[in-house]
């Protein structure tokens, strides 16, 4: 499939280089580089780019401290300090997606989470999906289109509440948002916010990552 797309793009470049862009004079040399760049654009959409490189500081092995307000009481979170997180680029995807594996304990139970984070070059947005040992559904986030690189990624989504917010919200669609803040190459945070119907957005989970050296 990739070879077919590459050949098509290459053929378009040859045609445009020979006859010129539509609506332009065939002898107008100055217009040809723009036409060639336009024909090559589809191939660029298939390759990892600078927005993927923004995620490079997340790669490595991390000690994670998790503050979970859903399971806490009286406004105080349950704190887990024994979590280990391993993050790598998935080479078999051509380095398009990061895999995050988290293992440790949450409260008095073993905890596991698998997350996949990437950047859609055609949509120009970050995408984040997680699967864990607590939530009975995938948590999927799709960001708004971005135009500038940043160290703070805000990625919204929605999930169907299985009852974690109480019986009044069981089965409701709850807006959510993950905020990834890359503070340095050795430290970053993931924060999860929920916005129950008729209520302000609130922090429900925060994880602080410190690189294991």
Distance (Å, whole) CA 126 – CA 131: 17
CA 127 to chain centre: 3
Q: What is the pTM of this model?
A: 0.79
pLDDT truncated to tens, each residue of the chain (213 aa)? 434 434 344 433 333 333 344 444 344 444 444 444 444 455 578 899 999 999 999 999 999 999 999 999 988 999 999 999 999 999 999 999 999 999 999 998 999 999 999 999 999 999 999 999 999 999 999 999 999 999 999 999 999 999 999 999 999 999 999 999 999 999 999 999 999 999 999 999 999 999 998
State the CB neighbour count (10 A cutoff) for residue 197.
Answer: 12
Write the CA distances from 1 to 6, 32, 46, 211, integer angstroms: 9, 28, 11, 39
């Amino acid at each position: 499939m990739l070879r077919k797309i590459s050949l098509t793009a290459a053929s378009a470049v040859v045609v445009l280089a020979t006859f010129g862009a539509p609506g332009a004079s065939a002898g107008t040399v100055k217009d040809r580089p723009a036409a060639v760049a336009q024909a090559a654009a589809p191939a660029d959409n298939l390759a990892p780019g600078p927005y993927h490189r923004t995620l490079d500081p997340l790669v490595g092995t991390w000690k994670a401290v998790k503050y979970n307000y859903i399971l806490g009481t009286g406004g105080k979170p349950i704190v887990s300090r024994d979590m280990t997180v391993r993050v790598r680029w998935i080479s078999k995807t051509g380095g398009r997606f990061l895999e995050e594996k988290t293992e440790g304990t949450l409260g008095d139970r073993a905890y596991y989470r698998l997350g996949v984070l990437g950047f859609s070059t055609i949509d120009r947005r970050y995408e984040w999906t997680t699967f864990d040992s607590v939530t009975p559904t995938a948590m999927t986030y799709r960001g708004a289109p971005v135009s500038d690189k940043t160290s703070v990624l805000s990625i919204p989504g929605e999930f169907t509440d299985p009852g974690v917010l109480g019986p009044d919200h069981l089965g409701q669609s709850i807006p959510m948002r993950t905020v990834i803040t890359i503070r340095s190459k050795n430290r970053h945070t993931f924060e999860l916010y929920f916005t129950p119907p008729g209520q302000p957005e609130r922090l429900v989970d925060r994880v602080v990552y410190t690189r294991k050296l």
